[in-house]
Structure 1
Amino acid sequence: MDTNDMRFKALEALGAGEFNHLNGSLISHLTGTFKMLKAWGAADYVCDAGLFHAAYGTAGFDETMVSLSQRTKIAEVIGKEAEALVYLYCSCDRDYVFERSVGKAPMAFKDRFTGECFTLDDEQACAFCELTLANELELLLTSEAFVAKYGAELYDLFENIQHYLTDTGVKAYKAFYAKEPELAD
């Protein structure tokens, strides 16, 4: 059993079940996001966050794998830094954050669980944006329906946050949209 399988077993022990996702199983999507981040050379904690990025549900995926009361237990499985990024990702009020993610101004953030508004520091913003890109790009690469519905909107988002992305992440989304030029207008 590899490390990721052991982590998923730990997640199941905390009460998570198998969920269907847009293009198959949620575990398949989480694993794909992790692998993408790993291939891009992301920090280990960012990769690990990719593996659990929907643990507490997201604004776009309402299913909650585990309760927020399990944060300490998740941190024991993937580490405190990765869990903090998972929480940040899951707590994101996407409408608030993405509407304000234009230009190089510091990233304004709103926690959808608490309603708290604050500014991400550059390290948080870079990790959050790289995870966001990997999540959305993994969906774009595996679902034509997702491309048709969100492809153009996500291109605009990626363009708006690209100053927070690694060169590898920027190249990845630019390569995708080079194959789908009608979405990048």
Structure 2
Amino acid sequence: MSTFEDLGSLLLVRGADEIDHAGGSLYVHLHRVAKRLRSLGASDTLVIAGLAHAAYGTDGFPTHLFDWQTERPVLESVIGTEAELIVYRYGACDRETTWRDLAEHRTVTDRFTGTSEELGTEDLRDFVDLTIVNELDVLENDSERALKLGLFLQEQIPRWQSLASPAVLAASEGILQLQESPQPLS
């Protein structure tokens, strides 16, 4: 089995297919995020991290599949050190203190520990690409949050232009333009 398949099986064992999320289950959402990252040319490591990105819950989705204090080694043994660190950073991110001015301060604040970490260029790109792709998936699959989230992304993504990959930026522009277009009446 591949790492992707092993992780998919582990997510099922942990009940990801039984947890409601935008557009179905958490399991389906995680797969959509990983698939989009792959289609946008993300590294294999980031694609695997995308598949596990909510393993420790997130600031916007508190349900977790793994305990960040005791089970990081479990996830790391399946997806590797680098992918697990991306997953941890993403899940641990305090969005309020991190997101808005990330391009200026390049620092992610950990909501679990209260510590902050300044990221290098590649780590920032992975963090921002995963964040944008995740939020776009929620935007497309959660009609109740779409308007508010769309407005937020239209304001936030330009702040991250210097951090995100060109492919993710282009995809986000296309999706956000579709969200702005009036929907035909049926």
- Pairwise same-fold verdict (TM > 0.5): yes
CA deviation map 1:98-137 (0-9, x unaligned): 1322xx4241221000000231111111110000011011
User: Structure 1: how far apart are the matches of 2:99 and 2:84?
Assistant: 22
Residue in 1 that maps onto 2:184: none
User: Normalized against structure 2, the TM-score is what?
Assistant: 0.88
Q: Which amino acid aligns with 1:47?
A: V
> How far is the alpha carbon of 1:3 from its aligned partner?
5.5
User: Structure 2: how far apart are the matches of 1:117 and 1:168?
Assistant: 28
Checking the alignment, whether the CA contact within 8 Å between 1:48 and 1:82 is kept in structure 2 is yes
> How far is the alpha carbon of 1:149 from its aligned partner?
2.5
User: 3-state DSSP class of the match of 1:170?
Assistant: helix
Q: Which amino acid aligns with 1:132?
A: T
User: Structure 2: how far apart are the matches of 1:16 and 1:144?
Assistant: 24
Checking the alignment, whether the CA contact within 8 Å between 1:11 and 1:74 is kept in structure 2 is no
Give the share of equivalent positions with the same residue, in percent. Answer: 32
Q: Which amino acid aligns with 1:65?
A: L
Unaligned runs of 5+ in 2: 182-186
- What is the Cα-based RMSD across aligned positions, in Å? 2.0
User: Structure 2: how far apart are the matches of 1:20 and 1:2?
Assistant: 26
Residue in 2 that maps onto 1:75: 76
Aligned structure 1 segments of 4 or more residues deviating by more than 4 angstroms? none
Q: Which moved further from structure 2: 108-117 or 173-182?
A: 173-182
User: Structure 1: how far apart are the matches of 2:118 and 2:166?
Assistant: 23
User: Structure 2: how far apart are the matches of 1:62 and 1:181?
Assistant: 29
The alignment of Structure 1 onto Structure 2 pairs a total of residues equal to 180
User: 3-state DSSP class of the match of 2:56?
Assistant: coil
User: Structure 2: how far apart are the matches of 1:64 and 1:179?
Assistant: 32
User: 3-state DSSP class of the match of 2:136?
Assistant: helix
Q: Which amino acid aligns with 2:63?
A: E
Residue in 2 that maps onto 1:123: 122
> How far is the alpha carbon of 1:57 from its aligned partner?
0.5
Q: Say if 2:40 is the partner of 1:40.
A: yes
